[in-house]
Amino acid sequence: MMKLLVDLENAGIAGTHGIKDNQTLILEIQDLGDSNRHSIVIEESSETWMTTRTVSRGSNRMSIASTPKILVPFSKEHQMTENWKRCVLLTALAFTASLVFAQWNDISILDNESVWATSSLMETVGNRQVEYGPEALFDDDLSTPWVEGVDGPGVGESVLILLQRPVEEIRLNNGFASNLNLYLKNNRIKSLTITLYAGLTAPGMVSENDYYLYKTIETVVADNIPIADTREEQKLSFPLTIDDQYELYLDAITLFQEDEPFLFSMICDELGVDQENTGIVKYNREVMEYFGFFGLRLTINDVYSGSLYDDTCISEIAFELGEF
């Protein structure tokens, strides 16, 4: 590793860089104001351009932010030209300024629940009340969409889905997809934010109403992903690899052990694991099966406006899942 830029130090940042597999430049940024260290991983996507993602690790926090829209000039020889230095400096400053370290988020769920929405539309059809809830996203029926239930287009509304496995691909049918008339009358999603949640519960973490309580780490992995304005199924490659998602899950286990040692010891006792000598990571699948939470949130960022109704719809979602 070598010193990267004196200019970075003048900005309150120190930097180093290294080359991995002759394809990936790893730029490590040290914020001189604290102990946090941020690694900007810059991956080649063509001969002249590359994309960047950031892995941020503090003393006890980690988050990953993918930015597929940020492009910087790429030199196959990784020569530190002045133009290259300026581009890296701007990229480093932008990333460092925008980093938000993950904090624990508490999630309460019933044993048979696996999908939740921040809001859902309810309306009277004939003599009965109909709710367009998030369960409809997985019923293989394009005539039953999830519809957000707030005033206006629903920007900021979301669905949270419990998966327990890493995601390789997302498939969706946008809008009220059963027929073109309803599709055009209602809003459709124009862009989404994808957030992952990784965390744990422990024996006894149950509320009086039989809700299981989970402590999770929230990580925004992609912002403003464009969604096509079509009723046809569209496929979205997941921004993080399975290995990246596995690291998030393992990090949640480690942080839980550090922040909640008593609860963590109860997990180890339940699994019959000697946490001092064996280490819980070797039993990560058992931890996920009995105590883990690994889920994904899709948040509405922008919409295509409907011709009649200001309600945003999405008809179906499916996932191609991998294995940890």
Q: pLDDT tens for residues 1-40?
A: 222 332 333 434 344 444 344 444 444 444 444 444 444 4
Same domain, 207 and 300: yes
> How far apart are the C-alpha atoms of 269 and 275, rounded to whole Å?
9
Q: What is the DSSP letter of 175?
A: B
User: What mean pLDDT, rounded, does the chain reach?
Assistant: 75
Better pLDDT: 186 or 289: 186
Residues ≥6 apart with Cβ < 8 Å to 319:
161, 163, 167, 168, 169, 170, 171
What would the pLDDT profile of 120-137 be if each residue is shown by its tens digit?
999 998 889 999 999 999
Residues ≥6 apart with Cβ < 8 Å to 272:
none
The answer for 126, left when phi > 0, alpha when psi is -120 to 50, beta otherwise, is: left
CATH number at residue 110: 2.60.120.260
Same domain, 134 and 281: yes
In this prediction the pTM is 0.71
What does the pLDDT read at residue 242?
93
Same domain, 67 and 153: no
Better pLDDT: 44 or 204: 204
Chain Cα centroid distance, residue 193:
8
Cβ-based burial of 97 (10 A; exposed 0-12, middle 13-18, buried ≥19): exposed
Same domain, 56 and 188: no
HSE of 132, CA atoms in CB hemisphere, 13 A: 24
Cβ-based burial of 16 (10 A; exposed 0-12, middle 13-18, buried ≥19): middle
Tell me the average pLDDT across 78-84: 43
> How far apart are the C-alpha atoms of 213 and 234, rounded to whole Å?
34
Residue range(s) defining the domain that contains residue 178? 104-321
Per-residue confidence band for 115, with pLDDT thresholds at 50, 70 and 90? very high
Q: Which of these ranges, 82-86, 174-178, 180-184, 307-311, has the smallest mean pLDDT? A: 82-86
Kindly tell me if the per-residue pLDDT of 159 is higher than 70.
yes
Same domain, 120 and 67: no
Same domain, 85 and 212: no
What would the pLDDT profile of 165-222 be if each residue is shown by its tens digit?
999 999 999 999 999 999 999 999 999 999 999 999 999 898 878 889 999 999 999 9
Residues ≥6 apart with Cβ < 8 Å to 89:
5, 7, 8, 11
Query: Which of 98, 128, 153 is the endpoint of a domain?
Result: 98
What does the pLDDT read at residue 276?
64
Better pLDDT: 283 or 165: 165
Cβ-based burial of 53 (10 A; exposed 0-12, middle 13-18, buried ≥19): buried
Same domain, 149 and 173: yes
Residue 174 three-state SS: strand
CB 108 within 8 A of CB 83: no
Residue with tokens 């508490």: 106
Same domain, 74 and 29: yes
What does the pLDDT read at residue 81?
44
Q: What is the DSSP letter of 65?
A: E
Query: Which of 46, 74, 98 is the endpoint of a domain?
Result: 98
Same domain, 269 and 304: yes
Written as one letter, the residue type at 227 is: I
What does the pLDDT read at residue 282?
66
Same domain, 161 and 61: no
Same domain, 32 and 118: no
Q: What share of the chain is helix, strand, coil (3-state, %, to 5)?
A: 25, 40, 35
Query: Which of 98, 132, 148 is the endpoint of a domain?
Result: 98
Same domain, 136 and 273: yes
Q: Between β-strands 37-44 and 24-31, what pairing exists: parallel, antiparallel or unpaired? A: antiparallel
Q: Between β-strands 158-162 and 115-117, what pairing exists: parallel, antiparallel or unpaired? A: antiparallel
What does the pLDDT read at residue 215?
94
What does the pLDDT read at residue 278?
53
Better pLDDT: 297 or 42: 297
What would the pLDDT profile of 213-250 be if each residue is shown by its tens digit?
999 999 999 988 999 999 999 999 998 999 899 988 98
> How far apart are the C-alpha atoms of 66 and 193, rounded to whole Å?
11
CB 44 within 8 A of CB 51: no
Written as one letter, the residue type at 70 is: I
> How far apart are the C-alpha atoms of 170 and 266, rounded to whole Å?
35
What does the pLDDT read at residue 207?
81
Number of domains within the chain:
2
CA dihedral 240, 317, 313, 193 (to 10 degrees): -10
What would the pLDDT profile of 88-113 be if each residue is shown by its tens digit?
444 444 443 333 345 788 999 988 89
Q: Which of these ranges, 58-72, 117-131, 277-291, has the smallest mean pLDDT? A: 58-72
